[in-house]
Amino acid sequence: MTGPLLTVGVEEEFLLVDPHSRLLVPMAVPVIAAAQDKLGDLVAPELTCYQVETRTEPHRDLRALAEQLYANRLCLSRAAAAHGAGLVSSGTPVLAPAGAPPLMPGRRYERSARSFGALDEEQVCCACHVHVGMDSREEAVQVSNHLRRWIAVLIAVAANSPLWGGRDTGHASWRTVCWARWPAAGPPPHFESAGHYDDLVATLIGTGVVLDAGGIYWDIRPSHHLPTLEVRLADAGLTVDDTLLITALVRAAAAVALAEVRAGRTAPQPEPHLLRAASWRSAHDGLTGTVLDPLSREPAPSSRQIRSLLAWLRPALAWNGDTTLVDSLLSRLHLHGTGAVRQRAALRRRQRPADTVDYLLARTLTAPGSHHH
C-alpha cells in the first residue's frame, strides 16, 4: 500500500516571559517587528500581546521541517532577547500578571473581546497547528471524519500545559480544557460533505455564535485560507522534537485516512459525547493514565492506545520514510515523558513555579535530535 507523500506545514505559538520575574511580558509588537527582518511573514501576532506565532513553509521532508522549526525558534528567541524577553513553548503560561491580558491591536481582536469577554481573557494558550496539504476540500472533510477517533490519543501525546497561575491544574493539557469552552471547539462533527461543513459554518457565523471562519476552533478543520486540513489539537510542543513527533503522526494519519476515503471506506462514527469525554480524559491524564477509545468505549492504558494508533499508521510511516524517526521520537517520549510530565518534574523539585519557567526557557531552544532533557 502506498499513497501520496503529503506536504505538511506547522504553526507554533509561543509565550514571551521576563527572565527575571518569570511573568509574561506584553512585548509581542516589538518582538514581531524585530523578527520580521529575518522571518518576514513567517512570524505573526496572536490574540494577546504575550504571544507570538511562527509558521513554516510546506515540507515533504520532516528533517527539513525540523530545521526550519528550530531556525524559527532561534530567530524569535533572539528578537525577544533584544527586548529583554525570553521565549517559552508551553500550552499555558506558568505565571502571569494579574488582570486581563492586553490584547493585540486590531479590529478582529476588539470585536472578539466585545463579543466574548472573559473567554478571551483566559485564552493565553498556545497550540501547535499542523497543516496537511489536500487536493480538495471534499477530501479534507472526509479525512477529518476518519481522524476523529484518534483525537484523544494525540491530545495525550502532545500534552504540555499542566500549570496555570503558578499551580498544577491536575490536567496534563489544561489548554485543551480552556479551548473546550468556546462555542465551536473540541472534536469536529461528522460531515456528509464539504457542502455540509460550509452550511454549518455559515449558520454559526450568521447566528453570531462565532465571528468568522477563523473562529471555528474545532480540533480538525479544513483551513479557511489554505488548501490544507488543519489539525489543531496539540499543545505547543516543548521542544522541536515534540512538535516533530505530533507532526509525523498527524501526517501519517491523514495519509491513511485519505487512502481509506479514496478506497470508498466510510469513517466510523463514534458518539459525539464519547469523543468529548475521551478528549477530557486525555487532557486530564496525558500519557500517565488511561486513554478512552471512543469506538470500543473502553478506557485503555495509553501505551496500548499508542500501539493501536501506530498499527493503523504503519503503512503511511513506511511510505513517508518516517518509521525510524517516529520510533526514535516515541522511545524518547516514553523515556522522558510528555512536556506536561517534564514541566511538573521541574516544579516538584522545589515547589517553585519559577523553576518550571527556567526549565521551559532552556528547553524551548533544544536542537532537534539532542539527547539532553
The whole-number pLDDT of residue 46 equals: 94
Instruction: Tell which wins on pLDDT, 111 or 358.
Output: 358
C-alpha cell at 72: 524559527
Q: How confident is the model at residue 1 (pLDDT cuts 50, 70, 90)?
A: low
Give the residue with greater pLDDT, 103 vs 372: 103
For 75-127, what is each residue's pLDDT tens digit? Answer: 999 999 999 999 999 999 999 999 999 999 888 888 888 889 888 888 899 99
Q: pLDDT per residue over 26-82, tens digit each?
A: 999 999 999 999 999 999 999 999 999 999 999 999 999 999 999 999 999 999 999
- CA 37 from centroid of its chain's CA atoms: 26
CB 134 within 8 A of CB 65: no
Res 373 pLDDT > 60: no
Task: Evaluate if residue 136 carries a pLDDT over 90.
Answer: yes
How does pLDDT run across 283-329, given as a tens digit for each residue? Answer: 999 999 999 999 999 999 999 999 999 999 999 999 999 999 999 99
The closest alpha carbon to 353, from 30, 18, 22, belongs to 22
Q: Provide the pLDDT for residue 122.
A: 81
Q: 91 φ, ψ to 5°? A: -65, -30
The three three-digit cell numbers of residue 321, written as one number: 520514510
In this prediction, residue 372 carries a pLDDT of 52
In order of 186, 321, 327, 333, 357, the CA distances from 238 in angstroms are 22, 24, 19, 12, 12
pLDDT recorded at residue 26: 98
pLDDT score, position 120:
85
Angstrom distance (rounded) from CA 265 to CA 53: 37
| CATH fold of 8-363 | Creatine Kinase; Chain A, domain 2 (3.30.590)
% pLDDT > 70, the chain: 99
Is the separation of the CB atoms in 347 and 163 below 8 Å?
A: yes
Q: Please tell me whether the overall predicted TM-score, pTM, comes out greater than 0.85 for this model.
A: yes
Q: What percentage of the chain reaches a pLDDT higher than 90?
A: 91
Kindly report the average pLDDT of the chain as a whole number: 95
Residue 196 banded pLDDT, cuts 50, 70, 90: very high
pLDDT in tens, 144-161: 999 999 999 999 999 999
Residues 6+ apart with CB under 8 A from 65: 8, 9, 10, 56, 59, 244, 247
The ranges assigned to domains in the chain are 8-363
Condensed to tens digits (0 to 9), the pLDDT of residues 250-279 reads: 999 999 999 999 999 999 999 999 999 999
Say if residue 5's pLDDT is above 60: yes
